[in-house]
């Protein structure tokens, strides 16, 4: 009996130690959801902490209506070791984060979330989570205003995006945040500025922001921020500015802390998101009148002057004349991109001149838009380029106006033909007009009389027409080709937009295959629009795809990819949605589809550089 007790005292500690080691090998898992109450559209984080786990699988996420579950990539692993009295203790901890985003307000019950650690299933148990809808109320108002409430279709005016936000006040600390402090809480990643986006981009690229001021609005103290940009009115009616949305992380609590020197300082410890769409402040667009509309009216609205020049002024019949036609906006605030070319189909032009039929493409510099066209006189009787008219609608007077360029005097001479002897002798000697052909029984008699030079035998090696033509044509043609290639190379080297487009697909495809599919799609769209990387928003990308001719399926595909990237930007620090091989393949396929679109039309529709 005594021997049996000694045996038990020896084996019991061994069995207990073995059990503890087995439990340790199985891993210890903790689930922590924070916060338990949040805001619709703002994710909560489920933190899964695994201690002493060797093989850790991804958690099995449930499906709950109204909730989006995203497992962030990039597990956090921490290893520590302690030595106490010669005994070594190791602690291995792995943290996985799951983003749970409520799409609507309400109370949600999340079924158990399971995770496999070293072959053992661990469950979180049911979790309860609720979200609230953050109402802007009187805290945030956004509207588009102009100096004139009634405008004409196609009229360009300076419009102002007016953002009014109520300054946060802390009664506990007796502090009111001013305009510089409040602007720090605008969520620029989620904001959509619509037609004011180019102006906002200029401010951000120059490290500036809209200046704010304090004003009384309906008896309340508000901070007012204004962004002014030229807008061209669209279709008649009430303009729709629903594509302008402002998102603000409005402060809800201040906390007093102590700095390094023990001085008390305040910091914002809690915020809540508020959103406001732009409202139309009484702007109405009227259609252009039909009465008195000139036949050559091309849709220009504003006030303009015209001027035409040509060179050279002394030419022969059929020689090219470069006509330059300039349209200047006399108000200084118009959008000349939408101004079309003058009508060049007047009988006075088409009867005396030949010209290309391709549509004219003008270039804008300052307040002037310039069109160039090549004219060729058809007869030596042409004495001038007649006046060329241009019509527009003047919104100030409410009438159509027409202006014409001054006539340009020309000197057109008949084309002279050269004899062969004059060419070979280096002289430009004119010859007499050839007589009419005379019919004979055997055919037609030659116009030239027989001379000894014609029938004289030529020695071997004498000059022949093919050799003379080659000697005269090939050297200047080669020089012109080399000069053209050099000018084209120099122009392309100085064209940043062209250089940015080169290799855009290859760069984006290589980036997508590394797992950064969303960033690759974003960078490709920015390169094709000649924009800096990271400046194209999701809404702007959607509008550009429509302008480039993308179908609904491709637009939806890009929207899903960019939405995933947007959720990743607002994830917990150091984490992003898991990128898989299928994600990379879909991104590469999406980039290939985008490469077939008409990006020139997209840049023209958004004011991009050509």
Residues 215-230: tens digit of each pLDDT: 998 888 999 999 999 8
CA angle 240, 244, 245 (to 5 degrees): 130
3-state percent breakdown (helix, strand, coil) of the chain, nearest 5: 25, 35, 35
Residues with Cβ within 8 Å of residue 28, at least 6 apart in sequence = 50, 51, 52
- What's the fold here for domain 304-413? Immunoglobulin-like (2.60.40)
> Is pLDDT above 90 for 408?
yes
Q: What pLDDT is attached to residue 270? A: 84
Greater model confidence, 560 or 571: 560
CA distances from 531 to 126, 496, 519, 534 (A): 48, 10, 14, 8
Q: What pLDDT is attached to residue 576? A: 52
**What's the CA gap between 571 and 564, in Å, rounded?**
11
Q: What pLDDT is attached to residue 603? A: 79
Q: What pLDDT is attached to residue 337? A: 77
Greater model confidence, 534 or 197: 197
Q: What is the mean pLDDT of residues 592-606?
A: 81
Asked if 68 contacts 100 with a C-beta cutoff of 8 angstroms, the reply is yes
pLDDT in tens, 409-451: 999 998 765 444 444 444 444 544 444 545 544 444 445 555 5
Asked if 361 contacts 342 with a C-beta cutoff of 8 angstroms, the reply is no
CA distances from 319 to 351, 377, 379, 383 (A): 16, 7, 11, 14
Q: pLDDT band for position 266 (50/70/90)?
A: confident
Would you list the DSSP string of 400-459? EEEEEPPPEE-EEEPPPPB-HHHHHHT---B-PPPPPPEEETTEEE-SSPP-HHHHSPPP
Q: What pLDDT is attached to residue 28? A: 86
**What's the CA gap between 525 and 608, in Å, rounded?**
12
The secondary element (H helix, E strand) that includes residue 376 is strand 368-377
Q: What is the mean pLDDT of residues 300-306?
A: 90
Q: What pLDDT is attached to residue 420? A: 47
Q: pLDDT band for position 20 (50/70/90)?
A: very low
Instruction: Kindly state the DSSP code that residue 190 receives in the 8-state scheme.
Output: T
Average pLDDT along the chain: 80
CA distances from 236 to 153, 155, 232, 233, 401 (A): 6, 11, 12, 8, 21
Q: What pLDDT is attached to residue 141? A: 93
Q: What pLDDT is attached to residue 267? A: 84
Output the pTM of the full model.
Answer: 0.52
Asked if 241 contacts 144 with a C-beta cutoff of 8 angstroms, the reply is yes
Residue whose C-alpha is closest to residue 375's, from 310, 307, 296:
310
CA distances from 111 to 30, 33, 114, 128, 555 (A): 16, 13, 10, 9, 34
**What's the CA gap between 198 and 607, in Å, rounded?**
9
**What's the CA gap between 569 and 579, in Å, rounded?**
14
Least confident of 210-224, 274-288, 446-460, 512-526: 446-460
Q: pLDDT band for position 11 (50/70/90)?
A: low
**What's the CA gap between 200 and 196, in Å, rounded?**
6
Half-sphere exposure of 411 (CA within 13 A, CB side): 3
Q: What pLDDT is attached to residue 203? A: 92
Q: What pLDDT is attached to residue 183? A: 93
Q: What pLDDT is attached to residue 451? A: 54
Greater model confidence, 191 or 38: 191
> Is pLDDT above 70 for 283?
yes
> Is pLDDT above 70 for 282?
yes
List alpha helices for 145-221, DSSP H: 179-183, 197-205
Q: What is the mean pLDDT of residues 53-81?
A: 87
- Per-position b or e across 62-93, b if 16+ CB within 10 A of its CB: eeeeebebbbbbeeeeeeeeeeeeeeeeeeeb
pLDDT in tens, 242-253: 889 999 999 988
Q: What pLDDT is attached to residue 240? A: 87
Q: What share of the chain in percent tops pLDDT 70?
A: 80
Asked if 554 contacts 546 with a C-beta cutoff of 8 angstroms, the reply is no
Q: How many CB atoms are closer than 10 A to CB 156?
A: 21
Q: What share of the chain in percent tops pLDDT 90?
A: 26
Asked if residue 441 has a cis previous peptide bond (ω within 30° of 0), the answer is no
**What's the CA gap between 257 and 266, in Å, rounded?**
6
- What's the fold here for domain 24-132? Immunoglobulin-like (2.60.40)
Q: What pLDDT is attached to residue 164? A: 94
**What's the CA gap between 26 and 31, in Å, rounded?**
16
Q: pLDDT band for position 541 (50/70/90)?
A: confident
C-alpha 118: how far from its chain's center?
48
Q: What pLDDT is attached to residue 534? A: 65
Q: What pLDDT is attached to residue 599? A: 80
Would you list the DSSP string of 130-166? EEE----TTSEEEEEE-S-SEEETT-EEEEEEEEEEP
pLDDT in tens, 313-322: 999 998 899 9
Q: pLDDT band for position 493 (50/70/90)?
A: low
> Is pLDDT above 80 for 83?
no
Q: What pLDDT is attached to residue 422? A: 44
C-alpha 324: how far from its chain's center?
32
List, by residue range, all CATH 2.60.40 domains of the chain: 24-132, 304-413
Q: pLDDT band for position 23 (50/70/90)?
A: very low
Least confident of 140-154, 162-176, 470-484: 470-484
3-state SS, residue 48: strand
- Per-position b or e across 557-574, b if 16+ CB within 10 A of its CB: bbeebbebbebbeebeee
Q: Are strands 127-132 and 37-39 parallel, antiparallel or unpaired?
A: parallel
Q: What pLDDT is attached to residue 77? A: 86
Q: Are strands 314-316 and 411-413 parallel, antiparallel or unpaired?
A: parallel
Q: What does residue 415 show for φ and ψ, rounded to 5 degrees?
A: -80, 130
Instruction: Kindly state the DSSP code that residue 597 receives in the 8-state scheme.
Output: S
Name, of 9-13, 142-146, 256-260, 295-299, the range with top average pLDDT. 142-146
Greater model confidence, 490 or 284: 284
Name, of 71-80, 133-142, 345-354, 371-380, the range with top average pLDDT. 371-380
């Amino acid at each position: 009996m005594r021997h049996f007790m000694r045996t038990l005292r020896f084996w019991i500690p061994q069995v207990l130690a073995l059990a503890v080691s087995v439990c340790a090998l199985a891993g210890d898992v903790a689930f922590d959801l924070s916060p338990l109450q949040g805001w619709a559209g703002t994710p909560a984080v489920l933190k899964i902490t695994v201690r002493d786990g060797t093989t850790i699988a991804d958690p099995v996420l449930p499906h709950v209506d109204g909730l989006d579950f995203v497992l962030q990539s990039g597990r956090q692993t921490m290893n520590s070791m302690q030595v106490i009295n010669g005994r070594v203790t190791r602690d291995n901890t792995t943290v996985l984060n799951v983003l749970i985003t409520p799409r609507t307000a309400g109370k949600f019950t999340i079924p158990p979330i399971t995770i496999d650690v070293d072959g053992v299933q661990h469950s979180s148990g049911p979790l309860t989570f609720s979200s609230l809808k953050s109402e802007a109320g009187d805290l945030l108002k956004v509207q588009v205003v102009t100096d004139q409430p009634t405008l004409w279709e196609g009229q360009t005016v300076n419009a102002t995006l007016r953002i009014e936000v109520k300054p946060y006040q802390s009664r506990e600390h007796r502090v009111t945040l001013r305009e510089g402090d409040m602007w720090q809480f605008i969520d620029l990643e989620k904001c959509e500025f619509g037609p004011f986006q180019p102006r906002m981009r200029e401010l951000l690229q120059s490290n500036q922001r809209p200046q704010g001021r304090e004003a009384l609005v309906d008896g309340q103290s508000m901070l007012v921020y204004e962004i002014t940009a030229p807008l061209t009115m669209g279709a008649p009616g009430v303009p729709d500015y629903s594509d302008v949305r402002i998102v603000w992380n409005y402060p809800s609590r201040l906390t007093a802390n102590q700095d390094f020197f023990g001085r008390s300082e305040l910091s914002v410890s809690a915020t809540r998101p508020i959103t406001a769409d732009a409202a139309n402040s009484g702007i109405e667009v009227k259609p252009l009148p039909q009465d008195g509309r000139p036949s050559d009216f091309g849709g220009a609205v504003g006030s303009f002057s015209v001027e035409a020049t040509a060179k050279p002024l002394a030419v022969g019949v059929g020689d090219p004349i470069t006509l330059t036609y300039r349209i200047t906006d006399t108000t200084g605030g118009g959008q000349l991109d939408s101004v079309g070319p003058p009508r060049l189909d007047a009988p006075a032009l088409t009867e005396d001149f030949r010209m290309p039929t391709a549509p004219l493409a003008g270039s804008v510099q300052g307040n002037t838009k310039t069109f160039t066209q090549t004219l060729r006189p058809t007869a030596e009787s042409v004495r001038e380029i007649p006046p060329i008219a241009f019509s527009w609608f003047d919104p100030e007077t409410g009438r159509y106006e027409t202006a014409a360029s001054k006539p340009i005097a020309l000197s057109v001479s008949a084309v002279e033909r050269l004899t062969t002897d004059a060419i070979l002798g280096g002289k430009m000697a004119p010859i007499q007009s050839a007589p009419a052909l005379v019919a004979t029984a055997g055919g037609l008699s030659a116009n030239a009389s027989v001379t000894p030079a014609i029938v004289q035998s030529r020695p071997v090696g004498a000059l022949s027409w093919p050799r003379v033509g080659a000697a005269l044509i090939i050297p200047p043609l080669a020089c012109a080709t080399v000069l053209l290639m050099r000018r084209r190379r120099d122009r392309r080297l100085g064209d940043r937009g062209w250089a940015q487009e080169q290799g855009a697909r290859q760069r984006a495809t290589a980036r997508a295959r590394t797992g950064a599919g969303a960033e690759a799609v974003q960078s490709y769209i920015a390169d094709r629009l000649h924009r800096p990387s990271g400046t194209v928003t999701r809404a702007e990308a959607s509008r550009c795809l429509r302008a480039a001719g993308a179908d609904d399926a491709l637009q939806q595909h890009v929207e899903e990819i960019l939405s995933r990237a947007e959720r990743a930007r607002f994830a917990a620090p150091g984490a992003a949605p898991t990128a898989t091989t299928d994600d990379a393949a879909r991104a590469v396929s999406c980039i290939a589809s985008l490469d077939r679109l008409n990006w020139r039309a997209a840049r023209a529709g958004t004011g991009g550089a050509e």
